[in-house]
Structure 1
């Protein structure tokens, strides 16, 4: 038989150990909670620093825009376009062009290269019917019966037979 005091002492130690374990668990949860708050605070600090950098960059860009506007206005004399400076048609734009200088070559208006063998017809498959159509039949135009030119100079010197209108640049 054990003395009564030793059983009471054992129970006291057990209660003290349980209280310490409970305090340890509460402190662990509290420390984890504080860690999470610190991580959230760090994330918000990083987000605020990025926002600050963005605002600084925007501020510098706007300052540079103001500086550029001042340079354009004061130093260079540039102004925003006025309503009477806009053109209504490409003809007005062409009328602003300068005439060619003396000795300048004539501009090339149209360039067209034909097949080496003009008698060869290219077979094409219609995406709708799936049948083979001839380029000659589908385009509705017959090729000329001129002999094929062998060199680039001969091909470029021949008339192209192009009957469409060609836009001329006013001089």
Structure 2
């Protein structure tokens, strides 16, 4: 009987220990769930604070519009655009321009900075002229895709050495 009581006591302690472990596990999950809810609530609070700050700025801006309009009219001479100030096309815009002065420098029309590739690829005109030599054939295969002269990403552009960049500019005569 002593042996049976000792065995029963061991089983009882194992059950108590198992129940304690299960309660600890359940409590851990509950704590993590509450932490998650707290983090979510904090994110909502931060978003609400940012929204409040944005609304305060908007309110202050709108409340000062009369003062800003008065400053614009009196101090700066600004006003709302009138219908006769809008232009129909680019020619009207160009007609408003003034000619360059006699000592003004030449205007830069195009500025380009691209990597220098092989001698074959560096001549864009050579590729174009090579296409003219071919007889126009309706069943000719499409030309092979050219390599891109400009890198696809900033990481690729930064990885290239600085000496491989060539700058060119066209100046208006």
TM-score (structure 2 length as normaliser): 0.47
* Greater Rg over alpha carbons, structure: 1
Q: Which structure is higher in strand share?
A: 2
Q: Which structure is higher in helix share?
A: 2
TM-score (structure 1 length as normaliser): 0.48
Larger RCO (alpha carbons 8 Å, 6+ apart)? 2
